[in-house]
C-alpha cells in the first residue's frame, strides 16, 4: 500500500467514509503500523482544530452595502430604461415630425460643414505627385502649355501633358526631383508664384514629366 493510499484511507476512515473491507484494513493498519498511527493522530488533530476554529461573523453592515450597490445598479438601469422609453414615445408620435425635420436638417448642415472642413484640411496638405498617364504628343510638336498645370487639382488628376519621349526635345530644361517639386508646390500655391519656375522636367517614380508654369491660354 503506497503512502498516498494510506493517507487517503486514513483520512476517509476519520470521516467514516469507508466500506467494511476498508474499515478492517484501516483498523489493522492502525494496530500494526506506528507510522500510520502517527499520521492518523495528526490528521485527526488537524480536523478537530479546523472544526474548532472560532466562528467568523459577517460584518453588520454587509447587507446594507450589498443593498446600496444593488440600488446604484438599479438606478443606472432605470435611467437608461426611462430614456429608451422616452425615445420610443417620441419616435411614434407624429406631432414630433417637424422637430425631427429640423433635427435632420441640422444634422445635414453639420455633416456638410464637417465635410467641407475635412476637404479644406485635406487640400491644405502637401501635394502628392504620382506618375500620370502618359499622353502621346504629336511627333515634333512641343508640349502644349496650360495654366491649369499649376493647379494642384490638375496635377492630381494626372492630366499632365508630357511623356518620356518628349524630354530629349528640350534637353536644356531644368530637372527637379519629385520631392523638390512637391516642396515647391507646398510653398507656392498661386499660379503667379509658380510662374518663375517656367517649364521644368520632373522625375516622378522613374517617369519624366514636363510641367509648364508659365501663364498662357488654357486648353
Partner 1 sequence: MAAVTAMSGAADVDLATRHTYGDPEAFEEVYERFGALIYGIARRMSGDATLAEDLSQEILIRVFRHLGSFRGKSSLKTWIYRIAINSCRSRLGRRARRGRSWVDIEDDTFDAMPAPTEATDARLIRREASEVLEAALSRLPVAFREAVVLRDIHDLPYEEIAKILGVRIGTVRSRIARGRDRLRLAVAANDPEVPR
Helix (H) or strand (E) holding 201: strand 199-204
SS3 200: strand
For residue 3, give the C-alpha cell.
Answer: 503512502
Q: Which long-range contacts (CB under 8 A, 24 or more apart) does 123-129 make?
A: 123/152, 126/182, 126/186, 127/152, 127/155, 127/156, 127/182, 127/185, 127/186, 128/156, 128/182, 129/155, 129/178, 129/181, 129/182, 129/202, 129/204, 129/209
Give the whole-angstrom CA distance, residue 58 versus residue 93: 53
Q: Which is nearer to partner 1, 36 or 129 (CB)?
A: 36
Using rule CB under 8 A, residue 60 touches partner 1: no
Considering only 2, 57, 95, 124, the residue that binds partner 1 (CB under 8 A) is 57
Cβ of residue 28: shortest distance to partner 1, in angstroms?
19
In the complex with partner 1, the residue whose CB is nearer, 10 or 200, is: 10
Tell me: does residue 21 bind partner 1 (CB under 8 A).
no
Residues 32-51 close enough to bind partner 1 by CB under 8 A = 38-39, 41-43, 45-47, 49-51
Residue 81 is a binding residue for partner 1 (CB under 8 A): no
Q: Is 53 in the site for partner 1 (CB under 8 A)?
A: yes
Task: Answer yes or no whether residue 71 interacts with partner 1 by CB under 8 A.
Answer: no
Applying CB under 8 A, which residues contact partner 1?
Answer: 7-8, 10-12, 15, 17, 38-39, 41-43, 45-47, 49-59, 62-63, 65-66, 69-70, 73
Amino acid at each position: 500500500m503506497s503512502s498516498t493510499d494510506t493517507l487517503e484511507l486514513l483520512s476517509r476512515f476519520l470521516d467514516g467514509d469507508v466500506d467494511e473491507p476498508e474499515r478492517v484494513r484501516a483498523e489493522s493498519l492502525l494496530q500494526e503500523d506506528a507510522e500510520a498511527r502517527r499520521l492518523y493522530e495528526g490528521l485527526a488533530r488537524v480536523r478537530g482544530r479546523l472544526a474548532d476554529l472560532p466562528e467568523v461573523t459577517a460584518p453588520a453592515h454587509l447587507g446594507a452595502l450589498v443593498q446600496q450597490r444593488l440600488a446604484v445598479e438599479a438606478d443606472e438601469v432605470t435611467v437608461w430604461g426611462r430614456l429608451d422609453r422616452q425615445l420610443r414615445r417620441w419616435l411614434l408620435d407624429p406631432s414630433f415630425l417637424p422637430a425631427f425635420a429640423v433635427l435632420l436638417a441640422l444634422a445635414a448642415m453639420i455633416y456638410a460643414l464637417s465635410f467641407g472642413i475635412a476637404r479644406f484640411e485635406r487640400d491644405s496638405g502637401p501635394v502628392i505627385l504620382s506618375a500620370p498617364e502618359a499622353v502621346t504628343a504629336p511627333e515634333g510638336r512641343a508640349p502644349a502649355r496650360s495654366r491649369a498645370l499649376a493647379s494642384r487639382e490638375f496635377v492630381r488628376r494626372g492630366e499632365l501633358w508630357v511623356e518620356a519621349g518628349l524630354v530629349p526635345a528640350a534637353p536644356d530644361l531644368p530637372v527637379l526631383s519629385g520631392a523638390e517639386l512637391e516642396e515647391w508646390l507646398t510653398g507656392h500655391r498661386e499660379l503667379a508664384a509658380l510662374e518663375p519656375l517656367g517649364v521644368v522636367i520632373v522625375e516622378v517614380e522613374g517617369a519624366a514629366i514636363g510641367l509648364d508654369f508659365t501663364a498662357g491660354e488654357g486648353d
